A and B are shown apart, each in its own frame.
Chain A
Amino acid sequence: MKPKQISPGQMLILTFGLTVGTSILVTPSGLAHVAREDAWIASLFSLFINLLLVVLYIILSRMYPGKNLFEINEAVMGKWLGKLLSLLYLFYFLILTGTLLGNLGFFLTSEMMPETPIEAVQIIFLLAAIMCARLGTVILARVSQLMFPWIVVLFLILVLALLPQIEWNHIKPVLEAGPLPPLQAGYHSAMFQELIVLLVFLPMSSGGKKAEAGFLGGTLLGAMFLAIVVVLSILVLGIEQAENATFPTYALAKTINVGNFLQRLEGILITIWICTFFIKISLLYLALLKGLEKVFGLTDTRSLITPMAVLFLLVAWHTYINTVYVADIIQRVWAGYAQLHLLLIPLALAVVGLVRTWVAKRRKGQKALP
């Protein structure tokens, strides 16, 4: 059965949702830590790196048109090695989802509802994601289309309401420690946008070139949102407080005060993050199901939805033990681990793929001669 199609516009929105995800909550402090006042340069560099990665994925996709990530793995590396590679990716996605779930739970319970047990928040969220996984990618694409205007409007409200509180002096001195720290910080932070996930869904998108444009456009839009948030965090909060906050964007939203009238809006603005988070988790969920389907040749993965949800929760409870443990490991290890999946393996696949086609062409050429 030919899978149903998602439009290029929906592809853009899905990419946007994935890029923003939960990164929007925590990137400013991570970048501010290393790059200080130049965190905005770092986030722009991160945007640039992400665009390059997406170009790599598109090249890979064009070499094997119509194939999603897992199929490409098998096509390039052969059946068994390809399946092994796909399993690596699936494990990566699994840990990612668990950590994300933990992140959301911790955010909501430490800032808004401390009496609520984390597990309750996570289970309710997962219920929504389960429903989405059962219904499929197309439904997710349509839901995200519905959510998109709200995300944009609320974000604009956030930005516009903060403009009166900008202190331009906060961003100086520029490049105090030289250009290296922002570049390093930017590259590090680019490893946290898991755009490879969309390579699972790219073939499902109609329009060929337009779908690729949607992929790129979504990345651009999402990374721009992140860059704007980083810039505002520095300009409004100042570097000392942006660096020390556990959830800097939330602290940013708390400072909104227009004419002593429009204040205490942070509760409504959480909607932005809930929506983008939902998109990200549902995409990961669907990607995992698709991956399992491909690797093990299953006919229908719907039965696996519930056990997967339980697995997500277990991973979440065992990774997000407390914010310090997670922050420490993620700071030290995750970038390298993610780099493997986001850059090194796709690059290797592209190179091997190119070599294979080149060899095949030469063989064809030789065969055609006599």
Chain B
Amino acid sequence: MKGYAWLMVILCASLAILPGCWSKKELNELAVVMALGVDLQEGGGYVVSAQVMNPSEVGSQQSGLSGNSPAVTYSAVGKTIPDALQRMLNVTPRMLYLSHMRVLVFGEEMARQGISDVLDFISRNHELRTDFYLMVAKGMDAAEILQVVTPFEHIPSSSLYSSILISNKEWAAMGKITLQQFITELDQSGSNPIMSGVELHGDPKTGNNLENVKKIKPDTMLENAGLAVFVKDRLVGWVGEAGSKATNYVLNEVEMTSGYVPCPGGGIIGVEITSARSKLEVHLDKEERPQFIVRLKTEANLDAAQCSVDLSKVESIDQISRNLEHKLTSLLEEGIHEVQRKYGADIFGFGEALHRKYPKVWEKYRERWEDSFRSMEVRVYADAEIRRIGSIVQPARREMERR
């Protein structure tokens, strides 16, 4: 019996150490890639940039900015992405480890060319997961975006990641697209994908330097910039703030956002949307042509009254709600029509809604949905309820004028 006990102990101990030992990767052999950038190389091929975390600078308790940069960006060229990544090993001191990638940035030129080949590598590789965000660098190469030192967050890609996460929650003009979402929208016949955009403000050369973040107002900063509209896998254009808001509302991505509406009696009043839910509906008219309806239900609070309306009266609140509904309806309709007419890209998923409800009718449209979509009728019905008005009742202006 004693022999058995020893055997058990040895087996359990080896269970703690041995599993997977053939494939072991020690932490000090890995270069953790936090962001990947893909650009076009003249003459075919890709320029791949990898932003790698410098653990000694990030993990230290004292100010990590005294000394080396918290992240290093390597670049290499290759006919395929793994080709480029392997070539990068010429320069990197460690093996590249992709599982912790937070952000994948495409250069604008690259995105206009078509990114399905890049997506194949990303999906096929077993190290990569599906939860990182995709972005397009507006008007520049991805490599330049990855070479900026950001304040606050030590690692620039974490900064990008967090800013997308947070701003998507609180500000409707920001898009948040994971790989999973993008591929689903790409492969579905009834929808076209979108991607968030990022741009660089200031001079890329100064952004490269640690000095950039030693100032109170850094010279060079990264900023999120609207949504990039794709038709199939090619970038066709950009949507500005209003259009991005509209898109996010239709896609049911808005959690909280802020805006303003005209105040009854002049001036404007700020509203904070606290909940927004949208549903896409499809109806067929007499000739079996689809008509799309977006129903939006929102709840809002008042947050800034820049007028002198009497907020203790129910009629005022009702009027403000109606103004909000009007504003939302026109915002969404304009946004949808802009994308419809300019790009013919169904980034809202109307085609997919048609597919789900009337599959037989969808068969007629599916081949040339991008063309048909341009002339589809879309109507928006918005419903807004004002809930809370904040800590004071009457607007400050009104109180002052009353004196």
List A residues at the B interface (Cβ < 8 Å).
110-117, 120, 169, 172-173, 176, 237-238, 240-241, 244, 251, 254-255, 257, 263-264
Tell me, yes or no, whether B201 is within 8 Å of chain A by CB. no
Contact A238 B184 (CB under 8 A): yes
User: Shortest CB–CB separation between residue A105 and chain B, in angstroms?
Assistant: 13
Tally B residues with Cβ within 8 Å of A: 18
Tell me, yes or no, whether B67 is within 8 Å of chain A by CB. no
Residues of B within 8 A of A117 (CB): 22
18 A-B pairs with C-beta separation under 8 A: A111-B126, A112-B20, A114-B23, A114-B126, A172-B356, A173-B359, A237-B180, A238-B184, A240-B183, A240-B187, A240-B188, A241-B183, A241-B184, A251-B130, A254-B129, A255-B131, A257-B131, A264-B129
Residue B356 contacts which of A120, A173, A240, A263 (CB distance < 8 angstroms)?
A173
Residues of A within 8 A of B180 (CB): 237, 241, 255
Contact B356 A169 (CB under 8 A): yes
List B residues at the A interface (Cβ < 8 Å).
20, 22-23, 123, 126, 129-131, 180, 183-184, 187-188, 352, 355-357, 359
User: Shortest CB–CB separation between residue B390 and chain A, in angstroms?
Assistant: 30
Residue B126 contacts which of A110, A237, A255 (CB distance < 8 angstroms)?
A110
Contact B20 A240 (CB under 8 A): no
Complex CA distance for A262 and B336, rounded to whole angstroms: 37
Contact A115 B23 (CB under 8 A): yes
Residues of B within 8 A of A113 (CB): 20, 22-23
User: Shortest CB–CB separation between residue B72 and chain A, in angstroms?
Assistant: 25
Residues of A within 8 A of B130 (CB): 251, 254-255
Residue A115 contacts which of B22, B123, B183 (CB distance < 8 angstroms)?
B22
Additional A-B contacts beyond A116-B22, A241-B183, A255-B131 (13; CB < 8 A) = A113-B23, A114-B23, A115-B23, A169-B356, A172-B356, A172-B357, A173-B355, A173-B357, A176-B359, A238-B184, A240-B188, A241-B184, A251-B130
User: Shortest CB–CB separation between residue B228 and chain A, in angstroms?
Assistant: 21
Residues of B within 8 A of A238 (CB): 184, 188
Complex CA distance for A169 and B356, rounded to whole angstroms: 8
Complex CA distance for A120 and B18, rounded to whole angstroms: 13
User: Shortest CB–CB separation between residue A167 and chain B, in angstroms?
Assistant: 9
Contact A116 B20 (CB under 8 A): yes
Instruction: Find the A residue at minimum CB distance from B363.
Output: A176
User: Shortest CB–CB separation between residue A327 and chain B, in angstroms?
Assistant: 16
User: Shortest CB–CB separation between residue A261 and chain B, in angstroms?
Assistant: 13
Instruction: Find the A residue at minimum CB distance from B188.
Output: A240
Residues of B within 8 A of A244 (CB): 123
User: Shortest CB–CB separation between residue B166 and chain A, in angstroms?
Assistant: 12
Complex CA distance for A114 and B356, rounded to whole angstroms: 40
User: Shortest CB–CB separation between residue B365 and chain A, in angstroms?
Assistant: 14
User: Shortest CB–CB separation between residue B30 and chain A, in angstroms?
Assistant: 14
User: Shortest CB–CB separation between residue A130 and chain B, in angstroms?
Assistant: 16
